[in-house]
Amino acid sequence: MTTLRLPLVDLHRHLDGNVRVSTILALAKEHKLPLPSEHLDTLEKIIYIQDKTSNLLEFLQKLDYGVSVLANIEACERIAFENVEDAYNEGLAYVELRFSPFYMAQCHKLALTDVVGAVVRGINAATAIYPVKAKLIGILSRTFGEEACMLELHALLAHHESIAGLDLAGDEYNFPGKRFVEHFALARAKTDWRYTIHAGEADGASSVWDAIHLLRANRIGHGVRAVEDPALVEYLKEHEIGIESCLTSNYQTGTWTDVASHPLKSFLEHGVLACLNTDDPGVSNISLRDEFDIAQTVLKLSSLECDTLQKNAINMAFLSAEEKSMLLS
Amino acid (1-letter code) at residue 88: Y
Which residue in the list 82, 172, 201, 244 is annotated as catalytic? 201
Q: Is position 152 annotated as part of the catalytic site?
A: no
Amino acid (1-letter code) at residue 72: N
Mark out the alpha helices in 191-318 (DSSP H runs): 205-213, 230-238, 247-252, 264-269, 281-284, 288-297, 303-316
Return d(Cα 265, Cα 270) in angstroms, integer: 9
For residue 81, the tally of other CB atoms under 10 A from its CB is 21
Cβ proximity of 306 and 1 under 8 Å:
no
Return d(Cα 329, Cα 320) in angstroms, integer: 14
- Nearest of 86, 119, 9, 135 to residue 281 by alpha carbon: 86
Paired with 9 in beta bridges are 94
Q: Which residues are catalytic?
A: 201
